Amino acid sequence: MITLAAKAKLPTLAGFFDIYTFNDGEPNENAVIVKGDVTGKENVPVRIHSECLTGDVFGSKRCDCRDQLLKSLVYLGEQPYGMLIYLRQEGRGIGLVNKIKAYSLQEEGYDTVEANLKLGLPADQRDYTFAVDVINYFRIKSVKLMTNNPEKIKFLEENGINVSGRISIKSQTTEYNKFYLMTKKEKMGHQI
Ligand SMILES: Nc1nc2c(ncn2[C@@H]2O[C@H](COP(=O)(O)OP(=O)(O)OP(=O)(O)O)[C@@H](O)[C@H]2O)c(=O)[nH]1
Ligand SMILES: [Zn+2]
């Protein structure tokens, strides 16, 4: 269950959005940015983006998060309606300190999945309940999910959301992220 906490206009590099924050009884302050009027609509393009401080903010090349974030924003900015749900689940839910510990292990040769396991943590600890609640809050009839991650689609469908399509977000492969992207494809089933 979520309730609206505050809403305001948010002009961005990708056009005009509204930003919503909600109370959901959890300590994380998630943000939702909405293009146009999504209420009651079908086939709404939705990006569920997981926080990556190193990538989203600092432009780290170890991952493709910033690339996906910017491409999603530009795409949404061109649509009549759509939204981006920004979930504060850094490091696939393990937090910043653990993610940096995992990076350090990756420098010793572990891949992104093995590094989490080595730390005694699950490979992916994320939960998309907040996203489900947001989609229901706007009474959205169906979504086109902007993702390469089949787990996100599965979670939404198992929780009663009608996923009418998938929009893939192709990100740039570089010498720094190619092993990470390959691991996502081969070990985490990403459609890339
Ligand atoms: N634990 C850990 N988290 C990482 C690592 N690299 C990126 N992340 C986090 O992974 C999350 C993004 O997940 P991805 O697997 O890149 O993509 P996704 O969100 O599952 O899939 P898409 O919807 O296609 O973007 C963010 O929370 C990042 O902080 C890493 O090496 N270890
Ligand atoms: Zn990242």
Q: For the chain, which residues make up each domain, given as ranges?
A: 3-89+128-188, 95-125
CATH architecture of the region 3-89+128-188 = 3-Layer(aba) Sandwich (3.40)
List the structure tokens of 53. Answer: 């401080």
HSE toward the beta carbon, residue 7, CA cutoff 13 A: 8
Q: Of 126, 127, 133, 139, which is the active-site residue?
A: 126
Does the pLDDT value for residue 178 go beyond 90? Answer: no
Sheet architecture: strand order including 82-87: 3-12, 15-23, 31-35, 82-87, 44-50, 143-146, 163-167
Residue 170 clears pLDDT 90, i.e. is over it: no
Is residue 192's pLDDT more than 80?
no
pLDDT on residue 162: 98
Residue type, 152: K
Band of pLDDT at residue 94, cut at 50, 70 and 90: very high
With 0-12 CB in 10 A as exposed, 13-18 as middle and 19+ as buried, what is 153?
middle
Residue 22 contacts residue 30 (beta carbons within 8 Å)? yes
Q: Say if CB 64 and CB 47 are below 8 A apart.
A: no
What lies within 8 Å, CB to CB, of 42 at 6+ separation is 140, 141, 142, 164
Digit-coded pLDDT (tens) for 9-68? 999 999 999 999 999 999 889 999 999 999 999 999 999 999 999 999 999 999 999 999
> What's residue 191's pLDDT?
83
Task: Assess whether the C-beta atom of 147 lies below 6 angstroms from ligand 1.
Answer: yes
Report pLDDT for 172.
82
pLDDT over threshold 90, residue 6: yes
Report pLDDT for 176: 85
Binding residues for Zn(2+): 52, 63, 65
Active site residue: 124, 127, 139, 166, which one?
Answer: 124
pLDDT digits (tens, 9 = 90+) for 116-145: 999 999 999 999 999 999 999 999 999 999
Residue 40, pLDDT score: 98
Q: DSSP states of 43-105 as a string?
A: SEEEEEEE--IIIIIT--SSSSHHHHHHHHHHHHHHSSSEEEEEE--GGGGT-HHHHHHHHHH
Assess whether 139 carries a catalytic annotation. Answer: no
Q: Which of 54-63, 68-77, 94-103, 180-189 shows the lowest per-residue confidence on average (mean pLDDT)?
A: 180-189
- pLDDT band at residue 69, thresholds of 50, 70 and 90? very high
What is the rounded average pLDDT for all residues in the chain? 95
Distance 91 CA to ligand 1 centre (A): 6
The ipTM assigned to this model is 0.96
**Residue of 126, 103, 107, 102 lying closest to 28 (CA atoms):** 126
